[in-house]
Structures are given as C-alpha cells and as structure tokens.
C-alpha cells in the first residue's frame, strides 16, 4: 500500500501529456492502450473550441450548451438510494468539494417533470443545468410513439418544458441498445423513428429551450450488432451524442483500464473501432457527453488509479465536452461512489479541482 501511495503521488507530478502507462506510475502490465485519436477527430466542432481553458479565457456556453472551452462537470447523484435529487446533490457536492454543472435525473411515461425540486436544485444556490432522461414509450412501444400514439403525452411535456426557467438537456430513452428487439415495435429503426417524432413534435409545440441528447450504452457487443447504425435518427434531431461507459477496479477482466479504455475501448478494431473513434468518424460535428460513467469498487487502490488517469488523458479526446458521474452505493454491478474509500476520494477530488471544468453557466 505504501508503494501504491508513492506511485499515485508520482503520477500527479507528471505532465498531463504523458501516456497512461507512464503517468499512472503503474509497474505492472496495463490494459491495451487504444491508439490516440487522430488530429482530425472532433474537427467537426468549432475549431476555436479547446478542452483546456487558457488562463485569460472565459469559458461560456453556446445556445446548444456546448462550452466554448473546457468541459461541463455533472452527476447523477445518489442513484438507487431513495434520496431526493436535491438532497443527493447536496451530499455529492459536499463530499467531493465541487459544485456540479449538470444534475442528471430520470423519468418515464407520464411522470411530471421537471419537478419542483429539480427546478429548485438547478437554480439555487448556484445555476446548474438539468439533464433529464425520459422514456417516452413507457408502457407502450417505440413504434406507437413514432406513429403518434403518445402525442398527448408529448404535448403535456412540451407545456412543462416551455415553462422551465432555462435551457435543459433531454435524453430520449437512454441506452436503447439493451431494449432492441427483432419486432413488436421495438426495433432499432423504431427507436430512431420514436426519437425523431418526439423531437419534431416538441419543436412543433414551440419548445425551444431543450437540447436533445442521444445516449448510447456504448457496450462493445451491442455496438457490433448489424442494427446498431439504424438507431441514429438524424443529425437534425440530435444535438449531442452521449455514452454510458463503466469500469471495474479489478485487474485482469473486461472493463478494467484507464480513461482511454473507458471511452474508446475495442477488443477487435476490425469489427469495432472504439466508441469515441466511431462517434468522431461518423458524427464528428456533434459534441460528445460521457452521460454516465463510474468505477465499480473492487480494489480501492485500483479505483484511485483509474480516477488519476482521467485528467491525464482527457486531452486526447477533444470532442468530449461533458463528464457526468453516476454516483451510487448499490448500482446493479457494484459501488460507484467516489468516496467508497479514502484513496479513491482523494484522486476524485483532484479530478474535480481540475481547471478544465471551469465553465461559466
């Protein structure tokens, strides 16, 4: 453990430009490092946009909530705990020492949202951005939504969105890959049609303060399916592309690795290039959000090391404009809390303090 602490201290002293293998101070074999994205990756975004804000430069948001420099810092707080979003957000910010730019919440069907608590949480004591996920087709199918069967549901939501004080992110049925079926109104094409119809209906209803996010699970076996490309509903209805990757702090297995592994892992480049590489190749004009990410607890020192690689390697992925952590003591596959151990919390706090997240909302 003393050796591990020494290595983590050494990692913090190494330039951010170092590779994961060098900057992490790891002495054992690392997971295979994906090739650094090409200089062209993400060039579809505004060329003036940079990840690392200059000391004299003020990072602000454009009308699609894309920062002119730097990244947005967010959280889905207290997931699977029963805590209200407001209380969970307060706990997360107090624990990690940094206010969040984004509050991620989840809704389905006819649930009334944004809720009063969500509205209050993104207004006080400082401004934040609400990022709501909505499963529009709850208790029905994507095909039904696309055919207009849930237009009344969409219209009711439109009225609430227009009354919302500010601009919000909205994901429509995040991680659709897990719910794709060969028929029954739940094919990949049905998903794309549902997404497209919902966006166009909301816009026709006069909604102008919603930024639409298509959030993929980004799990490699799904990405290799022959229907994967059919999920995409079109550039005109997608403002941001999101991904929900997770890591396991358990050496030797799938899902163990550094930040590069998290966002661009591939087991076989001939079949799948890695999610980041795919997005910047196929949809390079879209900003990318890591809409959920987390590290499952197994070994506290390994979890701390993984957190230490994020700031070191973010510069390799300029299309990423927001990181939203999934904070839960009992997520389906483990404990993702940043404070699950002292070593993990120490490294997570260092990441939170990074100047790259200095964006004025």
In the predicted structure, residue 22 carries a pLDDT above the cut 50: no
Q: Do the Cβ atoms of 206 and 200 come closer than 8 Å?
A: no
What is the pLDDT confidence band of residue 24, given thresholds at 50, 70 and 90? very low
Q: Which residue has the higher pLDDT, 39 or 238?
A: 238
Task: Decide if pLDDT at 71 tops 80.
Answer: yes
Q: Can you give the pLDDT at residue 53?
A: 53
Instruction: Say if residue 192's pLDDT is above 80.
Output: yes
**CA angle (207 as vertex; 203, 212 as ends), nearest 5:** 75
pLDDT at 35: 42
pLDDT at residue 11, as a whole number: 40
Over residues 277-317, the pLDDT tens digits come to 999 999 999 999 999 999 998 888 999 999 999 999 999 99
> What is the share, in percent, of the chain residues with pLDDT greater than 70?
84
Separation CA 105–CA 287 (nearest Å): 20
Widest pairwise Cα distance in the chain: 62
The pLDDT tens digits for 330-351 are 888 889 999 999 999 999 999 9
Residues 6+ apart with CB under 8 A from 338: 95, 96, 307, 325, 327, 344, 345, 348
Q: Give the pLDDT score at 126.
A: 84
- Is residue 33 over pLDDT 70? no
Rounded to an integer, the average pLDDT of 113-141 is: 94
As a whole number of angstroms, the distance between CA 198 and CA 350 comes to: 40
Q: Note whether 196 and 146 are within 8 A (CB).
A: yes
Name which of 46-50, 103-107, 138-142 the model is least confident about: 46-50
As a whole number of angstroms, the distance between CA 170 and CA 212 comes to 5
Give pairs for 46-50: CB < 8 Å, separation 24+: 49/318, 49/321, 50/318
pLDDT at 299: 85
Query: Looking at domain 46-357, does it have CATH number 3.20.20.80?
Result: yes
With beta carbons less than 8 A apart as the criterion, state whether 100 and 92 touch.
yes
* pLDDT value at residue 52: 54
Give the pLDDT confidence score for residue 56 in this predicted structure. 58
What pTM value is reported for the model?
0.86
pLDDT bracket for residue 117 (50, 70, 90): very high
Mean pLDDT of 12-39: 36
On the question of pLDDT at 25 being above 80, the answer is no
How far is 249 from 244, CA to CA, in rounded Å? 17
pLDDT of residue 313: 97
């Amino acid at each position: 453990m003393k050796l591990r602490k020494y290595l983590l201290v050494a990692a913090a002293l190494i330039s951010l430009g170092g590779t994961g293998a060098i900057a992490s101070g790891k002495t054992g074999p690392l997971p295979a490092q994906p090739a650094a994205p090409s200089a062209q990756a993400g060039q579809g975004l505004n060329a003036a946009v940079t990840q690392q804000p200059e000391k004299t430069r003020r990072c602000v948001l454009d009308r699609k909530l894309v920062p002119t420099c730097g990244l947005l810092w967010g959280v889905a707080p207290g997931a699977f705990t029963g805590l209200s979003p407001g209380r969970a957000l307060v706990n997360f910010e107090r624990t990690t020492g940094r206010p969040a730019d984004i509050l991620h919440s989840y809704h389905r069907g006819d649930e009334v949202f944004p809720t009063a608590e969500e509205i209050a949480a993104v207004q006080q004591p400082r401004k934040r951005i609400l990022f709501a996920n909505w499963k529009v087709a709850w208790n029905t199918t994507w095909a039904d939504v696309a055919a207009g069967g849930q237009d009344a549901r969409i219209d009711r939501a439109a009225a609430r969105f227009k009354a919302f004080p500010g601009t919000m992110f909205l994901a429509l049925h995040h991680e659709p890959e897990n719910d794709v079926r060969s028929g029954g109104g739940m094919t990949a094409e049905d998903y794309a049609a549902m997404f497209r119809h919902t966006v166009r209906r909301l816009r026709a209803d006069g909604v102008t303060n919603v930024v639409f996010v298509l959030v993929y699970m980004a799990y490699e076996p799904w990405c290799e399916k022959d229907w994967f490309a059919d999920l995409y509903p079109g550039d005109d209805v997608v403002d941001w592309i999101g991904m929900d990757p997770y890591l396991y702090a358990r050496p030797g297995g799938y899902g163990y690795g550094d930040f590069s592994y998290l966002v661009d892992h591939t087991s076989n480049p001939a079949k799948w290039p890695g999610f980041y590489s795919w997005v910047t190749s196929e949809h390079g004009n879209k900003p990318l959000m890591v809409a959920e990410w987390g590290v499952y607890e197994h070994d506290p020192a390994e979890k701390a090391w993984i957190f230490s690689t994020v700031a070191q390697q973010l510069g390799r992925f300029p299309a990423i404009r927001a990181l939203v952590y999934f904070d839960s003591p009992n997520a389906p596959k483990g404990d993702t809390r940043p404070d699950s151990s002292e070593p993990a919390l120490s490294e997570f706090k260092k990441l939170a303090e990074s100047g790259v997240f200095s964006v004025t909302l």
